[in-house]
Structure 1
Amino acid sequence: MNSAVYQKILKENVRPSDGDFVIGGLFAFHYYTRSEQNSYTGPPLQLQCSGRSVCDMNFRHLRFARAMEFTIHEINNRTDLLPGITLGYQIHDSCTEVPMAVKVAFQFANGMEPFYNDTDSCSKSAAAAVPALVGETSSTPSISMTRMLGLFGIPQVSPYATCACLSNKRQFPAFLRTIPSDHHQAAALAKIVKYFSWTWIGAVRSDTDYGNYGMASFLKAAQEEGICVEYSEVFYRTQPRSKLERVANVIRRSTARVIVAFVHEGELRLLLEELIRQPLPPLQWIGSEAWIMDPEFLRFNLCAGAIGFGIPRSVIPGLREFLLDLSPEQALKSPLLTEFWESSFSCSLKGSSEGARECDGSEDIRALQNPYTETSELRVTNLVYKATYAIAHAIHGVICNDTQCDKSAKFTPWQILDHLKRVNFTTKNGYQVSFDSSGDPVAVYELINWQVKKDGGLGFVTVGYYDSSRPKGQEFSMSRAISWMAGQTEVPRSVCSESCPPGTRKAVQKGKPVCCYDCIPCAEGEISNMTDSLNCVRCPHEFWPNTQQDSCLPKPVEFLSWDDTLSIILTVFSITGAFIAVCVAAVFYKHRTSPIVRANNSELSFLLLFSLTLCFLCSLTFIGQPSEWSCMLRHTAFGITFVLCISCVLGKTIVVLMAFRATLPGSNAMKWFGPPQQRLSVLIFTLIQVLICVLWLTISPPLPFKNLKQYKERIILECGLGSAVGFWAVLGYIGFLALLCFILAFLARKLPDNFNEAKFITFSMLIFCAVWITFIPAYVSSPGKFTVAVEIFAILASSFGLFTCIFAPKCFIIMFRPEQNTKKHLLGKGPSKSL
């Protein structure tokens, strides 16, 4: 290939400017390379960038390139930076293709000559080589370039390549960048997804190093945040259309309403164009910095409400005037600017485009509204500005001293790289520039939201910030409200399963991600007090879940309280029984000289009435909240009063027997069982019970305790028996005396009719024994407070039985049959009537 042909091809891809030192630049002005059939009859044609149509030029990247030109002009006009030195530039179009990036890298490393000069190859190559370059704007081409440029130590400062892999200085020692690594962006995106409680998302990425590495970092961070991915699709713009259609159909059929897109502009444009072909449900787009700030995509309304992290906005004084200071004559000097002019105004500059109208000079670049002229939100443009300044400061550090610079100084790219790593300055527009050990800047992002403007179009609005230098957990902050997909004002929902409310736990559905689960109610006695709880916890022993099973409440303590209806009824019967006993005692006292009172051993009768009164009243000690004293009192009072009562009945029974035997000739039975002996027998029988009670209270007294076993949901506060032997000894002794009394009364049942108290004692003992025999199973089986009620009922029933059988007939005669209350009648000398 001759030199003239090569220079023509070169000019189509290069925008040059001479200077003492030439800085390289590489930007993606187009998306594709021109493919031509190789004839194999001569050298293969050089790679050339192109678009599929006249509108395929990337005006935004043209702005980046011209910002680099502006920065170099600004540096050349400064007296404090590189004084007396002029910088030039060689700006190439990479069309985001690896082959083109590698070709340009060779040219930057070896010189721009089209042929090998065997006489002065080293000097030619050295003269043409650049000390450093700005670019590339994508990760994959940057990786290919820096692998080769790093061998020569030629530093590459990228304003837009974000792949986290490029932070590896062992593989990429000469790579630096002014944009943060995707490691920080991925973490920030995962945090924002978690912040809005989206646990079910879709993911698409470019099949490039940028997309693959970026999405891998995001998925790792998302997994740590508990976020699940329904699908993760990958494609590249040069792949068959069927691949793109399949990805679009996956998105349409998905249930996830949030989609995270780690894609380049080229892939996203094709995807959005495919998605608008058929209706699809509203999607909440989460974008990476590669496209979230690109105004080209604001025409796609389906992305309304999109959010993503972008580079902070900035202002570059004088840049807009520089960009707009462009005439047709100046545009003709550069193939790139010529293409820009003709594409923007749909005209031809001096016949450079066939079939198009001639540009007539009426075109006004200031009236254009496209990414090239959009300077209200300079973001990546500022990164190009900072990268160019960083290279200038590194060159200054190598060739300049305190007073002057030596344009003839010899240096190697390694020296430039060493100074680049150590630069730390503030740009003219007030931004700090420095690099860490990985060649990365501090990660600072703005959270960008695509909101509908008053004119109906979409615009970028900053709604939050992310600063990796802030303390952990405080990196992210919101500053204003977000406009969501389809104009919603509320945060959209995107979950595989709705949150499990408190009182339930999550159970993962078999064969599905952990974000897909069923909500299982907590088991009995367990609670969960948080949303989406993984496990339920058991309540402490004295607590029980509420109805919703989201909190543990103290178990209700149950005992036979005074205000209980059953307690009131039993209290009435108890007081009534005691009152009747006192009334009967009063009647007996009033008629104490009457034959029927005297004949039935008035002393034992009064003692019996007293003991019955105590029996009625002792039932009251079983009502109310158990305490140490009430527990000891109720059982001992019950045991002693009943033994006193049965002892009196037993004494009366023995008196009846002895009295009958005393009527027999020669019998002196009453001599051995007179009043002193009766009192002594009652005292001895009672003292035995007192001794049993004292031993019981001394060894293991009955004390209150909380019964947690009988019911799961409530506590039964009752008096524990302490020593079961003591309790059953008390009951057994009462039963023994009752049985003995019953046997003696039974033996005396055939005494003369008028002397028949033994019959009533027999009936009273039958009732007494029946009550207490049935009491045992009822006591054991009764639940809760009814156990105490059964005990009270047994006391009252047996007391009323004794009282009714023994005293009711006598009171009836005293009150209503006084004619029978005579000695003659009792001796059987009057008309005989049964008592």
Structure 2
Amino acid sequence: MVDSPHFPHQYYQSGDLTIGFMVTQYGYLIYELSFRRNPTTEYLEELKLISRTKSYQRILSLAFAVKEINENPELLPNVTLGFHIYDSYTNARMTHQNTLKLLSSHKTVVPNFKCNKQKNLMVVIGGLDSEISLYMATLLGIYKIPQIAYCIIAPMTDVKTHLPSFYRMVPNEEYQYAGIAQLLRHFQWTWVGILTMDDDNGDKFIQTLIPILLKHGICIALKGKIPATAQAAETFTSFESILDEAIYLSNTSVQVLVVNAETITISFLIIKIYAYAEVKDTPLLAIGKVWVMTAQWDFSVDTTQMDMDMQVFDGAFTFAIHLNKVPGFRKFLQTLRPKSKNEDGFILPFWEMAFRCSYNDSIDGMENNNGCSGEEKLESLPGTLFEMSMTGQSYTIYNAVHAIGHSLHKMYSSRQKHRVMPNRGRVSPVKVQAWQLHSFLRSISFNNSAGDRVSFDDNGELVSGFDIVNWVLFPNQSFLRVKVGGMDPQALPNQKFTVNEEAITWHRTFNQVLPLARCNDHCYPGYSRKKKEGEPFCCYDCTPCPDGKISDQNDMDNCFQCPEGQFSNKNRDNCLPKTLNFLSFMELLGTTLAFFILFSSLITAAVLGIFIKNKDTPIVKANNRELTYSLLFSLLLCFLCSLLFIGRPNIVTCYLRQTAFGIIFSVAVSCILAKTITVVLAFMATKPGSRMRKWVGKRLAISVLLGCSTIQAIICALWLCTAAPFPHFDMHSLTEEIILECNEGSVTLFYCVLGYLGFLATVSFVVAFQARKLPDSFNEAKFITFSMLVFCSVWLSFVPSYLSTKGKYMVAVEIFSILSSSAGLLGCIFAPKCYIIILRPSLNTKDQLIRRNI
């Protein structure tokens, strides 16, 4: 088989050692063949050519790298590198054919035979995609010739085991998967579409990426497939499915598309999107999307698209192989001219398509025929056709050539001791075999001219990361490639993924506002997400947080409880510190109660003074002066003990509050009970022959007073010794406040104190009620009855009120009960007597009392 005149695309440069290169410069769309006769190379006349002008830079990057090595006296001295470049045409048959050509002589395809014209092939670089790489590997693996691919997706899992001669000058694609997930998560894009080629690589991409996205909380809104380039090259009917996908993408509301496809495949898709929009006279909805491309994609314009507005890709993101500026490459491109005498079969078609000119059939003469002068400048071309700075894929080829050069240098250096030619010390370049290069290639590690470290890992993959590139397109077909972040697996954990949002330019339809890619709007702080039945987990309803719980971030699955001592604000998006709740002297309620306490105490002290001053008057003497003084003094203490309930609780006030209240009130009620019993016994003792006379006297009154009070004192002492009250912070009773209170310690003993006090009051009320009809001259039972009725009523209403209030209002209820009951006793018992003593002294005589009794 000889080269067809229709396939002149090869580039040969002789050298002691040859590097093979399978480029993807041209693609051919093949019409269906009938196969009614034996196929020959003549069928190639029925092919249609599609040129990728930007791909020509890959060829030039290899030529430039070889030139650098050959001109470097410290690298492979006295050994020259050559290369032989063929095109795969994105076609399996042509890839196999041209791989056999690399394994054969320069002109004839005769593998497995060596002759004088046999190339000393050491390594092959290629191909662009995994399918082409696999086609090549099936042949190169037989000869154990190292193959360095610059594709992104590996052709199979565990590639190093199945293809030990296969290397990749690209990082592990797992880093790209992780980078895509991190990028989507960074911008909170949780409702995205995935578009892949309909082949094994597309299936692997989906099967690998989707679990990672789901793990990061990202839902898949759509999964689309378009025919791979190899499938499309077989028949035009494959474009119908591309048209269907274009129509679907034009109408879907999904704003972010993750795309894993070759450049030419995406180009076909965009063509169909434009065609659909033009036929339907509809706007290009696909323009209002964010494209996230894998490293396979490189923005370019094919000859079929040169007049097409490519604004659809404005603001797109690409995961690109990390690259740096290579010194000297731009100058190398500036000296390139098609009139140069070389065996480059790619330059003339490239020149004609890039500059839209043509040469006549006389290639040797290269006379201008329709404008091509050969002096056109590459820097005048728009970036969509050709770039003067090295692209990512060209950079990988450049690194691959230098990796080969350094590996060969190490191999020759290790053999130099044993293979030195006489007199001149030169090594023989012809006695090395390709299979011997593997051990040196695996362990290679060097810094290239751009300053980047180049080495392979255990899987034969480049130890490197990915750059995140933001594409800015302009109406004049020019563009700007802006690095906005990266995925560096060798960096520190918190620096493995980086994004500079300020450097990003979004598509004009987004007005420089971060696009939203969500099933529904955010659940803002104060709300939590609630899953919608039957919908993906990215689709949810928003429910407000309950009292005491907040959510301080968007899209929280659950509201969380505020820390102890804090409460949720009105919007349920922040926790505020609770204020202390206790009855203070400084607030209005505390000040008012304190005023009434002091006022009541002054009145009680005044009454006590009046009775002491008029101690010898009949009305004072007639009602047991000692009990009267004791009652008035206890009432004075009752009023004053209310002050213990106002102010910040502490250990002392908590000890004294309820115990002082219980003992003092027991003394007061005991005084009333003693007075009532004394009156009743005195009346009964006046009857002839009564035996009650021996019980009448001060001894009985003192016994009742001390006995009843002692019992209450014993209960309080037991309370303080076993479970005394203590200061306590109640965090939960009130939403916005912390109640600083006195915990009663033993609730049982607290109610025992109240119960015993109620028992004394009940007995006093019953005895006074029985004596209410005794003559007024001899007793005050009627007034005691009224006072105990008020007393019992206040404390009966106290219990439910006390239990139904919290905080300082509960304390205020108890203070009010103390004041009310004490005031009732003071008013009902002593007001009538003070009236007579002060206003009606004429009634305060013994004769008047006797006369009234008669």
TM-score, normalised by the number of residues in structure 1: 0.87
What amino acid is aligned across from residue 406 of structure 1 in structure 2? S
* Letter paired with 2:256: V
Alignment match, 1:434 = 455
Check if 1:364 corresponds to 2:371.
no
Q: Does 1:462 align with 2:483?
A: yes
Once the two structures are TM-superposed, the CA of residue 169 in structure 1 deviates from its matched residue by 0.9
Q: Which amino acid aligns with 1:14?
A: Q
Instruction: Provide the C-alpha distance between the structure 2 equivalents of 1:426 and 1:644, rounded to a whole number of angstroms.
Output: 100
CA contact (8 A) 2:622 2:778 kept: no
Residue 23 (1) aligns with residue 19 (2):
yes
Question: Pick from 603, 609, 615: which aligns with 1:586?
Answer: 609
Task: Quote the offset at 1:228 in angstroms.
Answer: 2.6
Q: How does 1:3-402 map to 2 (within 5 A)?
A: 6-9=2-5, 12-32=8-28, 34-35=30-31, 37=33, 40-42=36-38, 44-45=40-41, 48=44, 52=48, 56-73=50-67, 75-76=69-70, 79-109=73-103, 122-124=113-115, 127=118, 130-163=121-154, 165=156, 168-208=159-199, 211-214=202-205, 216-236=207-227, 237=229, 238=232, 240-277=238-275, 278=277, 279-280=284-285, 281-294=287-300, 300-311=310-321, 312-315=323-326, 317=328, 320-321=331-332, 324-327=335-338, 330=341, 336-343=346-353, 344-350=355-361, 358-359=369-370, 362=373, 364-366=375-377, 369=381, 374-395=387-408, 401=416
| 2:608/2:629 contact within 8 Å kept | yes
Distance 1:108 1:614 in 2: 116
In structure 1, what is the Cα distance between the partners aligned to 2:402 and 2:662?
A: 104
Write out per-residue CA displacement over residues 504-544 of structure 1, whole angstroms, 9 at most, x where no aligned residue: 32223333333222222233433334433223333456554
Matched with 1:548 is 571
Deviations 1:480-527 (A, max 9, x none): 612111174343332223333333322233333332222222334333
2:438 aligned to 398, 412, 417, which one?
A: 417
Aligned to 2:521: 498
1:614 to 1:113, Cα distance in 2 relative to 1, 3 A: same
CA displacement at 1:300 relative to structure 2: 0.8
1:763 paired to 2:757: no
* Most deviating of 645-654 and 218-227: 218-227
CA contact (8 A) 1:448 1:464 kept: yes
User: In 2 relative to 1, CA 756–423 (structure 1 residues): closer, same or farther, beyond 3 Å?
Assistant: closer
- Displacement of 1:161 after TM fit? 5.0
Q: State the shift of 1:825 in Å.
A: 0.9
Offset of residue 142 of structure 1: 0.5
- Structure 2 CA distance for partners of 1:553 and 1:17, relative to 1, 3 Å: closer
Three-state SS of the structure 2 residue aligned to 1:204 is: strand
Match of residue 632 from structure 2: 609
> What percent of counterpart residues are identical?
33
Q: Give me the TM-score of the superposition, normalised by structure 2.
A: 0.85
What's 2:836 paired with? 813
Q: 2-side partners of 1:425 and 1:773: how far apart?
A: 95
Which amino acid letter does the alignment assign opposite residue 557 of structure 2? L
Relative to structure 1, the CA distance from residue 37 to residue 734 in structure 2 (aligned partners, 3 Å threshold; closer, same or farther) is: closer
| Preserved contact between residue 337 and residue 375 of structure 2 (Cα < 8 Å) | no
- The alpha-carbon distance between structure 1 residues 469 and 619, as it changes in their structure 2 partners (threshold 3 A), is closer
Change (3 A) 1:624 1:221: same
Q: State the distance in 2 between where 1:636 and 1:590 align.
A: 32
2: CA distance between counterparts of 1:49 and 1:19? 33
Cα distance change on mapping 1:134 and 1:643 into 2, 3 Å: closer
**Structure 2 CA distance, aligned partners of 1:323 and 1:11?**
27
Output aligned runs, 1:434-453, within 5 Å: 434-451=455-472
Letter in 2 for 1:94: S
Alpha-carbon shift at residue 95 of structure 1 (Å): 1.1
- 8 Å CA contact 1:761–1:805 kept in 2: the answer is yes
C-alpha RMSD of matched pairs (Å): 3.7
Instruction: Tell me how far apart the structure 2 counterparts of residues 431 and 708 of structure 1 sit (CA, whole Å).
Output: 61
Larger mean CA deviation between 733-742 and 704-713 belongs to 704-713
Residue 532 of structure 1 aligns with an amino acid whose one-letter code is D
How far the C-alpha of 1:141 sits from its partner, in A, is 0.5
Q: Which SS does the other structure have where 2:122 is aligned?
A: coil
SS of equivalent residue, structure 1 residue 468? coil
Write the letter of the residue equivalent to 1:187. Answer: A
**Number of aligned positions between the proteins:** 817
* Structure 1 residues 649 and 321: CA distance shift in structure 2, 3 A: closer
95-104 or 676-685, larger mean C-alpha shift: 676-685
Aligned to 2:505: 483
| In 2, Cα distance between equivalents of 1:334 and 1:47 | 25
Amino acid at match of 2:712: Q
Measured after TM superposition, the shift of residue 108 of structure 1 is 2.8
Aligned-residue offset at 1:341 = 4.0
Question: Using a 3 Å threshold, how does the CA distance of structure 1 residues 392 and 376 change in structure 2: closer, same or farther?
Answer: closer
Is the 8 Å Cα contact of residues 163 and 213 (structure 1) preserved in structure 2?
Answer: no
Q: Distance in 2 between matches of 1:65 and 1:262?
A: 24
Equivalent residue letter for 1:308: T
In structure 2, the CA distance between the partners of 1:50 and 1:228, relative to structure 1 (3 Å rule), is farther
Q: Which whole-Å CA distance do the structure 2 matches of 1:16 and 1:801 have between them? A: 121
Letter in 1 for 2:83: Y
Q: 1:732-785 deviations in whole A, cap 9, x for unaligned?
A: 443443344334434433433543522222322333333333434444444544
- 2:310–2:473 CA contact under 8 A, matched in 1: no
Corresponding residue of 2:281: none
Residue of structure 1 equivalent to 2:677: 654
Residue 546 of structure 1 deviates from its aligned partner by 3.1
Amino acid at match of 1:660: F
Cα distance, 1:97 vs. partner? 1.7
> Is the Cα–Cα contact under 8 Å of residues 506 and 514 in structure 2 kept in the other structure?
yes
* Closer/same/farther in 2, CA of residues 751 and 105 from structure 1, 3 Å limit: same
- CA 1:35–1:423 in structure 2 vs 1: closer, same or farther (change >3 Å)? farther
**How much does 1:41 deviate?**
4.4
Range 256-265 or range 287-296, more displaced: 287-296
String of CA shifts for 1:20-67, please: whole Å, max 9, x gaps.
4443221112122545746654553367599746xx322222332244
Instruction: Kindly provide the amino acid, as one letter, of the partner of residue 109 in structure 1.
Output: L
Structure 1 residues 757 and 383: alpha-carbon distance in aligned structure 2, compared to 1, 3 A threshold = closer
Supply the distance in 2 between the matched residues of 1:550 and 1:825 (Cα, whole angstroms): 79
Matches of 1:564 and 1:449 in 2, distance apart? 63
Amino acid at match of 1:24: G
Write the letter of the residue equivalent to 2:178: A
- Aligned letter for 2:128? T
Cα distance between partner residues in 2 of 1:115 and 1:651: 134
Quickly say closer, same or farther: Cα 1:667–1:549, change in 2 above 3 A: same
- Aligned-partner residue type, residue 8 of structure 2: E
List per-residue Cα deviations over 1:244-286 (Å, max 9, x = no partner). 1222233223333222222211111112222234221522222
